[in-house]
Copies of this chain bind each other. A is one copy, B any other.
Amino acid sequence: MTQKFEFLSKNQQIIYDIIENAKEPLKAYSILYSVKKKGIKAPPQVYRALDRLIKMGKIHKIESKNAFIACKNSNCTISNATAFSICDSCEAITEISNLKLSKYLANFQDDTGMRYNKYNLEFFGLCRKCKKNKS
């Protein structure tokens, strides 16, 4: 297992498990609802865990959806370079793990010469299934 030596606190572990086992990105309040039975009762508890999991690179936030997804990409445990594929029809979301793309973007500098240490890219289109259904 590519298990990094990073400990999760109790709440962090509870919340990570839920996100990790979900089939789709989860919203903060849906997470809150799921963890009520585990004793986590209030939004700050959820948001604090989310913040830390993001900083650790264990999860990412899909900004255009306000939803959280577990990182399946052992490369980006630093959470500073993320790319997602989002289907406009069924909302299926997957993390893109493409070395050429990440290299291209990590090395990108704009016309003023500014360099970046972090990026987030969200692609939208129709996934295979939805494209088929339309044709």
Contacts and interface: CB of A to CB of B under 8 A. Distances in A.
Interface of A: 63-64, 85, 88, 96, 98, 101, 104-105, 108, 110-112, 114-125, 127-128
Contacts of A120: 64, 121-122, 124
A87 to B, nearest CB: 9
A94 to B, nearest CB: 8
A88 to B, nearest CB: 8
Contact of A114 (B85, B105, B115, B121): B85
Nearest 6 A/B pairs, CB to CB: A63-B63, A116-B125, A118-B124, A116-B123, A121-B121, A119-B123
Nearest to A64: B63
A110 B122 contact: no
